[in-house]
Structure 1
Amino acid sequence: MKREFGKYVSLNIFGMLGLSCYILADTFFVSAKMGADGLTALNLAISIYSFINGTGLMIGIGGGTKYSIYRSRREEEKGNRVFTAALAMGLLIGIILFAVGIFAARPLSILLGAEGKIIEMTTVYLRTILCFSPCFICNNIFLAFVRNDGNPRLSMIGMLVGSFSNVILDYIFIFPADMGMFGAAFATGLAPVISMLILSRHKFSGKNGFHLQTDGSFWRYAKGIPGLGASSFINEVSSGVVLIVLNLLILGISGNTGVAAYGVIANLALVALSIFTGISQGSQPLLSKYYGEGNGAKVREIYRYMVILALAVGVFLVLTAFFATDSLIAVFNSEGNKELARIAHTGLRIYFLGFLAAGVNIVTAACKGALEQAGESFLISVMRGLICIVIYAAVLSKLFGMTGIWAAFPATEATTLLLSVFFVWRRKNPFSR
């Protein structure tokens, strides 16, 4: 069990770390080329990327969970209908977001808080990213199904190759080609296309277990997909919601420099969260498989490994934030802005304290979703991703200014941890059907 858990989780953590390079590469190169203004525009636009990516994760993880359960019960035809429903749903939402990018990118930029010369930079990035929405969503669906079809290695390779391609293309488009914000967004948009080309190997390998089932009956399987993937959606979208809320609050306290400082912290947090997401998504196929077989003991064992690993990673992240604070900030502060560095220095240390509890909350919500306990999974995710963070950010910022902004995340995760513990212990057999 340890070997199997280690294989799935380690491969997915590596893949998710690579995937986090999507935005990190943009942040680094945009900061180096366009300074604090570019970083502010990117930080405003990145919330929409979180929504797009979260939608793909919701459909992919939700569909992959149902597929894995049906597969463990030898119900292959139902699994095919779930795959077809997931793909159709993803394409439909992707086309809608594509239309938003074409016709409403500028109003959306203003709604997110862009002003002055930042508006045009934000609009260019948003329009390009939204036009690639079908690719982002479908890539997440294929990644989840390939992983649940017993090929986590190819899923990892797809994520890594796509991400590293993004880093290389970012440099080419922003510096030699001098394509500005469009170049940064275009490089990010091409990454899922490259990833899907890699994943297509699974289709022709002879080991592919999922196929399109176009008899029309697949739509009735669609309704169960979003609920099981809701925690993945909320976890991802919460980053976008937090960005929007905190950006607006910070603009009123420290202006664009404060937003740029938060952009540094938010992007470092994106890497941290990708590790916890890797633990969750890597464990999901195993959880769903043993749950489908009715093996509660193995499900319980996997969850124990998830919590231990999440706690260890949380401690490591906090120590890194405290002992490498200035070095981490300097990577994204190419102009040497002293005010940005000062704000980010305090913020990074306080904000990262939240990861001591965040990992346990994330893996617990994911475990609940993988076991078809969608309600509890959703409540944990929505508490940490929407309700608590908005309340704490609004209240604490009024009381303590920027310090309150940074403290909102740790306060949110500590509160949500109480709910996670309650949901695990309230059931007599929380890991059985």
Structure 2
Amino acid sequence: MKKSVLREFIKYVSLNVMGMIGLSCYILADTFFIAKALGANGIAALNFSISVYSFIHGIGLMIAIGGATRYTILKSQGKDNEANMTFTTCVKLGIFTGIVFIIVGILRSETLALILGADTSTLPLTKTYLTTILCFSPFFIMNNIMLAFVRNDNNPKLPMVAMLTGSFSNILLDYIFMFPLRMGMFGAAFATCLAPIINIVILFRHFMGERNSLKYTRSRIILSSLLDILSLGLSAFIAEVSSAIVLITFNLAILSIEGNLGVAAYGIIANIALVILAIFTGIAQGVQPLVSKGHGLKNHNELKKVVKYALLTSFLLALITYIGMFRHVESIIEIFNSQHISEIAGIAKTGFKIYFGGFFFAGINIILTMYFSATEHAKEAFILSISRGCIVIVPMVLLLSRIWNMKGVWFSFVFTEFIVTVMATFIAISGKKASNVLKS
């Protein structure tokens, strides 16, 4: 049994982590090419825009993870019809939500850009990026839904292939659109928006194969089912949107301390951090089908092993990442600091060394949040997610930035993740049902 559980863990996690790295490279590729083509103002504009991208991505994840969790539990209990009704509900909800975002993109992108901190030098670039990704939001949302359901339908390899293909396409299109075609900020955004479309085309192969058990059924949306999906996926939404809230809060705090150059420096750190967080999210989403299946079958022994493997993997990855960043921080900054601005390099160097210490705790928090969500402990998952995304981080940034200026901004992330880890540990130990699995 131990070898079987470990084999399944390695299979699902490795494939999903590789796919999530590919998915996170959407924005990282934009950062690199925008830095080369548009300089510090371009990076600052992108950093203002990422929060909206994270919100769209979070909506997609909420529908996808909530629906896929319920789908897997129902399938493990032999309730195939109810499982497919859940899939159908998620597809309808994803399309409707995407249409709402399109309307916002057409009518309110400039207002959003101003709220997010754009000024006269960054407003045109920010508005262009926001309008483009909002108008393509249905594809981002449906991509998340398809990825989650195909993965939970016993096909973790195809989502990995789709995400990596989309990512490599994004990198290639970024270069083509921004340099040979000179399409500027729109080119960067458009390349990013084409990637999920490519993903979806690849994922449709699953529906034509013999392994497919997903079926779109003619059924009305039942309010109780809709609320169930959203409640199970809420922690995933909060976890993703927390990065948006952190970005907005950090941007506004840094603007008051170091101006646009400070925001550009944070833009480098934030975009590298998105990749690292994507790895932890990949671990969490990779174990979600295993956790939901074990929960549905009430196999607590298997659940214990999966959670232990996930936590150990996250710690090792955090350690490797921190050592790597500490040794190569100047080279990493130089890649994105195309104008060789010393102020940006100095701010970013200090930021990397402090900020990345928070990932030792962030990995634990992301995995335990996913565990609670995948085992129908939506309330516990929500508490951890909202604490990371708002309740702890926002006052921490505002307080520490006043006391220690930029160092306070960087330390606020570390302190927040540590506090939430303490909370997560307490909830895991004190919870009656959860503690049976998490205690060992």
Amino acid at match of 1:168: L
Amino acid at match of 2:334: A
Structure 1: unaligned runs, 5 residues or longer = none
Q: Report the CA distance shift for 1:80/1:218 in structure 2 as closer, same or farther (over 3 A).
A: farther
| Alignment pair present for 1:382 and 2:403 | no
Contact 1:287 1:302 in 2 (8 A): yes
What's the CA shift string for 1:65-118, capped at 9, x where partnerless?
A: 000000000100010110011111111111000100011111110111101121
| Alignment pair present for 1:108 and 2:112 | yes
What's the CA shift string for 1:192-217, capped at 9, x where partnerless?
A: 00000000000000221111121225
| Cα displacement (A) at 1:219 | 4.8
- SS of residue paired to 2:434: coil
| Alignment pair present for 1:193 and 2:197 | yes
Q: Which residue of 2 aligns with 1:373?
A: 377
- SS of residue paired to 1:229: helix
Q: Which residue of 1 aligns with 2:86?
A: 82
Amino acid at match of 1:205: G
Contact 1:101 1:131 in 2 (8 A): yes
Contact 1:90 1:134 in 2 (8 A): yes
Distance in 1, matches of 2:357 and 2:240, equals 19
Q: 1:14-93 to 2 correspondence within 5 Å?
A: 14-93=18-97
Q: 1:93-242 to 2 correspondence within 5 Å?
A: 93-216=97-220, 218-242=222-246
Structure 2: unaligned runs, 5 residues or longer = none
| Alignment pair present for 1:245 and 2:249 | yes
The alignment-based identity, stated in percent, is 48
Contact 1:371 1:431 in 2 (8 A): no
Contact 1:162 1:191 in 2 (8 A): yes
Distance in 2, matches of 1:45 and 1:422, equals 36
In the comparison of the two structures, how many residue pairs are matched? 433
- SS of residue paired to 1:92: helix
Distance in 1, matches of 2:221 and 2:146, equals 21
Distance in 1, matches of 2:329 and 2:31, equals 18
From 345, 348, 353, give the equivalent of 2:352: 348
| Alignment pair present for 1:409 and 2:428 | no
Amino acid at match of 1:63: G
Distance in 2, matches of 1:285 and 1:421, equals 23
Distance in 2, matches of 1:110 and 1:86, equals 33
CA RMSD of aligned residues (A): 1.1
Q: Which residue of 1 aligns with 2:330?
A: 326
Contact 1:300 1:431 in 2 (8 A): no
| Cα displacement (A) at 1:218 | 4.7
- SS of residue paired to 1:430: helix
Amino acid at match of 1:115: D
Distance in 2, matches of 1:298 and 1:431, equals 14
| Cα displacement (A) at 1:290 | 1.0
Contact 1:389 1:408 in 2 (8 A): yes
Q: Report the CA distance shift for 1:214/1:329 in structure 2 as closer, same or farther (over 3 A).
A: same
After the TM superposition, list the runs of 4 or more consecutive aligned residues in structure 1 that deviate by more than 6 angstroms.
none
| Alignment pair present for 1:420 and 2:436 | no
Amino acid at match of 1:375: K
Bigger shift: residues 11-20 or 86-95: 86-95
Q: Report the CA distance shift for 1:30/1:209 in structure 2 as closer, same or farther (over 3 A).
A: same
In the superposition, the TM-score normalised over structure 2's length comes to 0.97
Contact 2:36 2:338 in 1 (8 A): yes
Amino acid at match of 2:329: T
Contact 2:283 2:310 in 1 (8 A): yes
Distance in 1, matches of 2:105 and 2:164, equals 27
Distance in 2, matches of 1:264 and 1:172, equals 22
Distance in 2, matches of 1:217 and 1:243, equals 35
| Cα displacement (A) at 1:313 | 1.1
Amino acid at match of 1:84: T
Distance in 2, matches of 1:175 and 1:386, equals 39
| Alignment pair present for 1:282 and 2:286 | yes
Bigger shift: residues 351-360 or 215-224: 215-224
| Cα displacement (A) at 1:326 | 0.6
| Cα displacement (A) at 1:302 | 0.6
- SS of residue paired to 1:45: helix
| Cα displacement (A) at 1:324 | 1.2
Amino acid at match of 1:191: A
- SS of residue paired to 1:324: helix
Q: Which residue of 2 aligns with 1:270?
A: 274
Distance in 2, matches of 1:161 and 1:371, equals 31
| Alignment pair present for 1:5 and 2:9 | yes
- SS of residue paired to 2:392: helix
